[in-house]
Amino acid sequence: MDSGIGLLAASAAVRRLRPDADLVLSFDPEGMPWGPRTPEDLTSRALAVAEAAAARRPEALIVGCNTATVHSLPALRAHLEPGIPVIGTVPAIKPAAAGGGPFAIWATPATTGSAYQRGLIEDFAVGVPVTEVPCWGLAEAVEHADQAAIDAAVTAAAELTPDDVTTVVLGCTHYELLTERIRAAVQRPGAAPLVLHGSAGAVAAQALRRIGARPAPDAPATGTVTVLLNGREGELPEPALTYAEGRLLRTVSPAASQ
């Protein structure tokens, strides 16, 4: 679940680990973007999107959005667990800090500087230089596949990223759809290859663990994809197909797969 196509990264990661898994992608096109909303409003919308997904009786629910995880995860868990395990998306600050070098966290303005993100830095990155980079307009540009706006936002964020960083944490799931463009913008000539840390792979693996399933990447590709747009079945938004993850998840209705 997410307001928009930020959920593609984790969904595609699940698909790669379990090609036989049936996926339900629950969007909130009437309410996106969630970032500028108050925490109370965002949580209300997140609960509605989660309820639409829960009606399909999933084994687990992935919150494919850092901002929703920051503000709404406790409410979602209180509402759905223990019947449906809820897996949040946490910026990969711990593995980035383990590398020891200076790193930057690219995130939405709503997440940058938040108590949640600062807490993760204090818990896992003590003594490691960290730069929080607010990426103004980048998630929105990705959502609409606006290439000029993506280039402008990536360039602006790269300019706020210190030259000595060795690692960038992608603290918004939308950004994981742009890994090579971000790498190209931040990589300094002559420097060691830049390390990018996203969350999708870890989130997908955690979802499987929570339901007692194992990765089976060689399983038959029999899994279906159902898209819910404010609770109504539909198709993946057209901009989603701009990205490799969206093309991987091109909609297959349960009826068509039978």
Catalytic positions are 65, 172
Residue with tokens 């409003």: 41
- The CA distance from 44 to 99, in Å, is 38
- The CA distance from 43 to 21, in Å, is 28
Count the neighbouring beta carbons within 10 Å of the beta carbon of residue 98.
Answer: 12
Are 96 and 196 spatial neighbours (Cβ–Cβ below 8 Å)? no
Element (H, E) at 138: helix 138-143
Count the neighbouring beta carbons within 10 Å of the beta carbon of residue 255.
Answer: 9
Q: Which residues contact 79 (CB under 8 A, 6 or more apart)?
A: 47, 50, 51
Strand 23-27 and strand 225-229: the pairing is parallel
As to burial, measured by CB atoms within 10 angstroms (0-12 exposed, 13-18 middle, 19+ buried), residue 40 is exposed
